Amino acid sequence: YLTFTLREKEWSLALDALNSLIDLRVGLGGKSNKDGEVDVQALVVIVEALVSENQMAHLIPPDETKIAGTDERSIAIKKNNFLRRKLGTLFRRIKAECKSDANVWKIFSVYFKCFKDRESYRDCLIRRVRALQVPDWERDESKAGRVCKAVIETVKAYRQDSESLPSLKAQATNLLETTIERVEEFPELVASLQV
């Protein structure tokens, strides 16, 4: 069902299908065996579509000959806002049930960045870093490299927003210093963290 709704670009139904899929994976007991797995590929397709449709809706010129709210642009914007609310509901559910999938946090960080929700964007970035910090990550160079890449992206976002929120600069510095301490046995990674 999910594949069909994605292929037919029925985004509202696809969001419903993702919710149902999470229900099935969580089970009747209300607790997930595997941290509420999410179909990451389906989520990517939906988020990309919503971002693209939002950008396209705002490019449609308003039609002055129609009654306000009935022109193509207004209808497209209303549809996109409805889908964004539905995705927001799914996101809150994922946030509560799927804490350890770094890919999910990356997808949502892209979404929030596109819609200029800086606070949610930063929250997703830091959650992605935490999800990547699996046990003994600092002893495996490839895992440490993924964490460092996510830390760099997070620190840049925090520093960009630190003018309006000065406390973010201290948080960014703390995150960077902590990460450098934990990967000091990989000099290339330490050098990459000098942002």
- What are the CA-CA distances from residue 42 to residues 2, 39, 89, 109, 132 (Å)? 8, 6, 16, 16, 21
Question: Sign (positive/negative) of CA torsion 140, 141, 146, 150?
Answer: positive
Mean pLDDT of all residues in the chain?
83
Q: Which residue has the higher pLDDT, 50 or 145?
A: 145
pTM here is: 0.77
pLDDT in tens, 22-63: 877 766 555 544 555 678 888 889 888 888 876 665 555 555
Residue 166 pLDDT > 50, yes or no? yes
Contact 148, 189 (CB under 8 A): yes
Output the CA torsion 135→140→143→144 (10° steps): 100
Contact 20, 82 (CB under 8 A): no
